[in-house]
Amino acid sequence: MTVAYHRLFRTLPTYRWYRPLFALLLGTVFYVVASNVVVLALYAVVAAAGGADAASRLAEGLQGDPLDASQPLVMLATLGSIATMLPSVLLATKLAGLGGWGQLSSVAGRLRWRWLLRCVGPAAAFMALTVLLSYLVVPLVTGDELGSGPVTTPPAALVWSVVVILLLVPLQASAEEYVFRGFAIQSLGSWIARPLVAIVVPTVAFGLSHAYNVWGVLDVAVFGVTAAWLTWRTGGLEAAIVAHVLNNTVLFLLLAPYAGTPSSDGSPLALAVTVVCTPFWAWLVLRSFHRSGELASSPASELTGRPPVESRVG
């Protein structure tokens, strides 16, 4: 018997229906504590180095635009706090008896690095098409000027923001994948066999977790549902992680020179671009997956040495 990605928790001899809920509670507590530690520690350092005024500017920045590239410390606090979701969900899953990080990574019980590297090509093509449509085709259609206007981020701040983006976005994006496309999909899949529920419900949560306008939330949801479907279809998080990391890195870097441009400003045209580009990305991923020799599901015996829970008697 083979086991699909969303049903992997059911293969564990320690699985009980309530364990995903226990892991959710633990993970939430770990994340709240860890994210606050990151922010408070940064406040303490800023206050010690720059005084109360510097700490006040940091607080105002976090309340305003938490991804303002003209304030690298604000970006550091935002991305750093989100990144703590990764150790939080991995530790909670382990402590709840639902396997280690490999359990969430793929049906192989590990992150499939060779397949992950093959996902770079489709993700790069996805981002190239996205940038082309967003920065060239859409302005031609709307009659707007090409480009994003004058650079407003001070050079020194821009350099530090770029460093923060390159170092922390891979962790931030991977953390969101392990939570919304890993833990959430496998938790729902352990209760409900149909993959549709495990794909759609986490996508709604993923969209609403972003403080964007309605078009921005829908934009995120389109990417999220495609990433969730590919996670189920390819048996792992690799394609979603690569695309999410590349997407956020490229977009943050493109917006970084233009302080004051809210990252949460979605639009119908931006949504249309995502609707066009994500199926193209999914097609490229599946095309590469079929040639990779990787498996979309796994025999339960390879994961645990025992048949899945639903096939055992007693």
Identify the band that residue 262 occupies on the pLDDT scale cut at 50, 70 and 90.
Answer: low
Please count the other Cβ atoms lying within 10 Å of the Cβ belonging to residue 84. 22
Identify the band that residue 101 occupies on the pLDDT scale cut at 50, 70 and 90.
Answer: confident
What is the predicted pLDDT for the residue at 260? 66
* Percent of the chain with pLDDT strictly greater than 70: 91
The mean pLDDT value for 277-301 works out to 91
Q: Where are the beta strands (DSSP E) in 98-225?
A: none
Evaluate if residue 302 carries a pLDDT over 70.
Answer: no
Cα gap 251→219, rounded to integer Å: 14
Cα gap 122→284, rounded to integer Å: 5
pLDDT digits (tens, 9 = 90+) for 136-163: 888 887 776 655 667 889 999 999 999 9
Evaluate if residue 80 carries a pLDDT over 80.
Answer: yes
pLDDT digits (tens, 9 = 90+) for 163-190: 999 999 999 999 999 999 999 999 999 9
Identify the band that residue 267 occupies on the pLDDT scale cut at 50, 70 and 90.
Answer: confident
What is the predicted pLDDT for the residue at 142? 75
Evaluate if residue 222 carries a pLDDT over 80.
Answer: yes
Do residues 282 and 229 touch, judged by C-beta distance below 8 A? yes
Name the residue ranges covered by the structural domains of the chain. 2-311
Range 168-198 burial, b when 16+ CB lie within 10 A, else e: bbbbbbbbbbbbbbbbbbbbbbbeeeebeeb
Burial class (CB in 10 A: 0-12, 13-18, 19+), 53: exposed
Evaluate if residue 299 carries a pLDDT over 80.
Answer: no
Q: 3-state DSSP call for residue 221?
A: helix
What is the predicted pLDDT for the residue at 2? 87
Residue bearing the bigger pLDDT, 51 or 263: 51
The mean pLDDT value for 9-31 works out to 96
* pTM of the predicted structure, to 2 decimals: 0.92
The mean pLDDT value for 116-129 works out to 98
Q: Tell me the two tokens of residue 204.
A: 């709604």
The mean pLDDT value for 51-72 works out to 89
Q: Which of 235, 247, 239, 183 is nearest to 9 (CA)?
A: 183
Evaluate if residue 310 carries a pLDDT over 50.
Answer: no
Cα gap 278→280, rounded to integer Å: 5
- Mean pLDDT, the chain, integer: 90
What is the predicted pLDDT for the residue at 50? 87
Identify the band that residue 259 occupies on the pLDDT scale cut at 50, 70 and 90.
Answer: confident
Q: Tell me the two tokens of residue 125.
A: 């093509």
Residues in the chain: 314
What is the predicted pLDDT for the residue at 164? 97
What is the predicted pLDDT for the residue at 300? 56
